[in-house]
Every structure is written in structure tokens, then in C-alpha cells.
Amino acid sequence: MAYHGAHIAAAAAAKKRKLDEEAEEEKMTKYNDDNTEKWEYKIVRSESGAFRNPNVLAALVEEEALAGWEMLEKFDNRRIRFRRPVEARKKDHMLPNGVDPYRTNYGGSLTKIGVMVALGLLLMGSFLFFFLAYRGGASFPIAGAIPTIAILVVLMAVAAVVAVARSR
């Protein structure tokens, strides 16, 4: 019961933080009618706060520049505001494959990464349990499956790395 209450409180706090950030962004963003006819704007977000790393920030700015976006301001380590001329839309069809001119999320979801880490730890823990039991001389019917379990653990680790890399 206490866990459920903590989960609800955490979700409410996350929702309040998001609403506060949106209100802050609206206050910080000063548009006039002339700006919105010539420019389009977007905010790119990173759940993990990846923009604290100058190399990640430089890579983001370089990637966005491919579609004509220029960085206007860094709100914090999780939010960057960009703008580009409305005319740049006409060149979107010429962008390299995989470049989304309207992406607003950078990096993997913390939930997705957490699930992959938990699954990997579960598999590694199972492997370690059976490995130690097998070395201890215990006779398990599944002892012969240890190499298969080891291969599955390696494949899951590779899949997790690929999934995280693709989510950038």
C-alpha cells in the first residue's frame, strides 16, 4: 500500500514539474506576430539531463543544424530551444534518412532504460545463481542449459545497447 502511495505521489510531482516547466517556457518565450510568420520554434528535451555534457550539446546543435535549426537558448540541462526560418520546410525532403526536423526528444526514455537495466540484472542474476550452483556440484536438471543462458544474457546486453543507441 505504501509503495502505491509513493508511486502516485511521484507521478503527481512529475506532472507538476512538467506543468511548471511549460509555464516557465511560455514566460521566457517572447514572440511577436512578425516572428511567428518568419520563424518556427521548437524545444528539444532530454529526460536524462544529457545537455549538461558540452559534447552532447554540441552534437545536438550540429544535428539540428542539418535541418536549418539554430539554438536560441538553453533553459537547463534538459531543455534547449531552437528556431528556423519557415522557408526551411521546403528542404525537409532532402534531409538524410533518419533526420527528423521536428523531433523534440533527445536520448532514451528513462523508463525504457530502467526496464532494460532491470531485465539485464535479472538475467545476469539468474545466470550467476545457476553458474554457482553448477560449480558447487548441485545437480540441476537445467545445468546443461547454462551455456544457453549465457548466450541469452549476452544477446540481451547487446540488444539493450543497440536499443539505447537507436533511441538517441
Segment 52-66 shows an average pLDDT of 94
How high is the mean pLDDT of the chain? Answer: 77
What pLDDT score does 123 carry?
A: 74
The tens digit of pLDDT for each residue in 142-163 reads 556 666 666 777 777 777 766 6
The predicted structure's pLDDT at residue 51: 92
Question: What pLDDT is stored for residue 133 in this prediction?
Answer: 66
Side-chain-side CA neighbours of 99 within 13 Å: the count stands at 18
What does the DSSP 8-state code read for residue 53? S
Q: Are 98 and 81 in contact (CB under 8 A)?
A: no
- Provide mean pLDDT across the span 40-66: 92
Question: Mean of the pLDDT values across residues 123-147?
Answer: 65
Number of domains, the chain: 3
49 Ramachandran zone, left/alpha/beta (phi>0; psi -120 to 50): left
In terms of domains, do 95 and 37 share one? yes
Q: Is the pLDDT of residue 70 over 60?
A: yes
Amino acid at 86: V
Q: How far apart are CA 94 and CA 76, in angstroms?
A: 32
Q: Are residues 118 and 99 in the same domain?
A: no
CB-side neighbour CA atoms (13 Å) of 53: 9
Assessment of whether the complete model's pTM goes beyond 0.75: no
Residue 13 structural domain? 1-29
Q: Single out the residue of 149, 156, 118 nearest to residue 131, CA to CA.
A: 149
Q: 94 with 38, same domain?
A: yes
3, 24: one domain: yes
pLDDT computed for residue 125 by the predictor = 75
